[in-house]
Amino acid sequence: MNITVLGAGGEVTGSCLLVQTNSTRFLVDCGMVQGGRDAPSRNRKPFDFDPGRIDFVLLTHAHIDHSGLLPKLTSKGFAGPIYTTAATADLLAVMLPDSAHIQEADAQRANRHHSPARAAPDDAAPLYTTQDALDCLRQLQAVRYDEDVRPHAGVRCRFRDAGHILGSAILEIWLTEGAKTTKVVLSGDLGQPGRPILRDPTPIDDADVLFIESTYGDRLHKDQGATVDELVQVVDQTLHGRGGNVIVPAFAVGRTQEVIYHLHRLACERRLNNLHIYVDSPMAAAATRITMRHLELFDEAARRLAGWHSAGRDLPLLHFTASVEESMALNRVRSGAVIVSASGMCDAGRIKHHLRHNLGRRECSVLITGFQAQGTLGRQLVDGAKRVRIFREDIEVRASIHTLGGFSAHADQKALLGWAASFKRAPRRVFAVHGEDAAANALAQRLRTVNGWNVVTPRCGESFDL
């Protein structure tokens, strides 16, 4: 058996593993690289394998850095099934066509800006089309949590709740070659235990080989209570003290719903008053509707709050903007608005327009609620940039920037070590992936010293015979 790390080795995006045995070849995730100038070219380069020879795909969750190249895979010849949870399949029905629309729009923009006398650049053609995305969706096979799936002879797998976003999964995979069976566990993206809405990550007893994410492997998140207190303070001071707007870049799936949950709960508790919340992302609106269809995946407190929401009691003023015209109208709102918009790393979508109109105003605030990859606009803001470039325009950063680490959908170092402690025996091999170098190396070192595990931090392109 051989496993090749094709993405998220020493970085956080582009997750993809190629697993090869004597009888099958399959992928775990097929994600898009996000952030940095080389991301577009990396997403466009040919796959390091023949897509037509891939038997099936196992998908941990719907985030684009794990699923975003599936339509490209289909368009290049992959015809097999894609196994994932039912909630993930529902989310992909919104997210992949939306991603394709972005690819098509970017290609149209590139065509407008290149000279007819010169050859069209590589990005003048979309990475994949809406039709490619629709074709890909027909290959989805929805599975239940905790039930055995047998996608191929000699392969048995089980999807376990990862607590990261709706439908996210840890994968347990049993690979049988001859008389020998090897158990491989892939954490996917693990959620932070004790967070609202979703259940905690499922503990796993054992594995021969473990791939564990390390996004926050070198740090701890702020306490949830302290994070909520900071949210109250920032929103109240910005809206009622300084008379500005609060801009919240948020991933359309997961983070947007959690921000709505907290603001809704704080309004019900009268800790925040006179809220006007605008969710400016059609995909976030669709994802929120999907989220409400999967209440069985919520924790008890979230189910109760969802009941209050459906009853219409004590709701803050919540608006979902659908059209471009409604979105543009928000740019004329000078005060009193909480604007939640995608993308979560500020690199695309409607959030860039809201930042352009509010970053230069001292009375406004920006709430960063999720991980910001190197090379993204969001990372520049977190790192204290005094000036940023948006739509070819230099914008002075006068608004206050606040990072609310306690809202992260990723487990911090303590939670990662806690999840690892559930293993009753040490895996033979452990790989720390899905983390920048400092984070992955820090987690690997703690797992070596605390657990006594054999841990490496692979690079993209490395293969391992197991």
**Contact of 216 with 408, CB cutoff 8 Å:** yes
Q: Are residues 376 and 300 both part of a single domain?
A: yes
Predicted local distance difference test score (pLDDT) of residue 262: 87
Segment among 73-77, 87-91, 193-197 with least mean pLDDT = 193-197
Question: Which of 407, 423, 452 is the endpoint of a domain?
Answer: 407
Do 178 and 290 lie in one domain? The reply is no
The pLDDT assigned to 312 comes to 46
Q: State the pLDDT confidence band at 304, using cuts at 50, 70 and 90.
A: low
Residues 396 and 457 occupy one common structural domain? no
pLDDT single digits (tens) 329-375: 999 999 999 999 988 888 888 899 999 999 999 999 999 988 888 88
Percent of the chain with pLDDT over 90: 70
Give the residue among 343, 57, 346, 289 at the shortest CA–CA distance from 166: 289
127 shares a domain with 205? yes
Give the end of a domain, one of 368, 388, 407.
407
CB-facing half-sphere around the CA of 278: CA atoms within 13 A = 23
Judge if 294 and 193 occupy the same domain: no
What pLDDT score does 206 carry?
97
Average pLDDT, the chain: 90
Residues 43 and 182 in one domain: yes
Q: Sheet of 82-85: strands edge to edge?
A: 140-143, 82-85, 56-58, 25-28, 16-20, 2-7, 463-465
Q: Residue 384's closest CA among 373, 369, 394, 399?
A: 399
Instruction: For residue 229, report the phi and psi dihedrals to the nearest 5 degrees.
Output: -60, -40
Higher pLDDT, 185 or 294: 185
Both 161 and 237 in one domain: the answer is no
Residues of the chain with pLDDT > 70: what percent? 93
Per-residue model confidence (pLDDT) at position 292: 76
CATH number for 119: 3.60.15.10
Spatial distance between the Cα atoms of 422 and 205, rounded to a whole number of angstroms: 6
348 and 396 assigned to the same domain:
yes
301-327: average pLDDT: 68
- Pair (387, 421) in one structural domain: no
- Considering only the C-alpha atoms of the chain, give the largest distance between any 2 of them, rounded to a whole number of Å: 70
Question: What is the structure's pLDDT at 121?
Answer: 56
Is residue 442 within 8 Å of 413, Cβ to Cβ?
yes
Q: State the average pLDDT over residues 44-72.
A: 97
Domain tally for the chain?
2
- Which of 389, 407, 425 is a domain's end point? 407
Q: Domain check: are 42 and 160 in the same one?
A: yes
Which of 124-128, 144-148, 187-191, 414-418 comes out lowest in average pLDDT? 124-128
Q: Look at the block and give the residue holding tokens 């306490």.
A: 223
Q: How far apart are CA 439 and CA 432, in angstroms?
A: 9
More confident residue, 317 or 396: 396
Q: Are residues 169 and 76 in the same domain?
A: yes
* Orientation angle between helical segments 282-292 and 255-268, nearest 10 degrees: 70
Residue 215: which domain range? Answer: 2-219+409-465
Locus of tokens 């230069």: 360
User: What pLDDT score was predicted for residue 307?
Assistant: 56
CATH number of the domain where residue 332 is located = 3.40.50.10890
* 10 and 80 within one domain: yes
Euclidean distance between CA atoms 345 and 249, whole angstroms:
7
Helix residue ranges per DSSP H, 280-350: 282-292, 300-311, 324-330
The pair of structure tokens assigned to 252 is 């359309």
DSSP class per residue in 128-178: S-HHHHHHHHTTEEEE-TT-EEEEETTEEEEEEE-SSSTT-EEEEEEEEET
pLDDT in tens, 312-323: 445 567 888 878
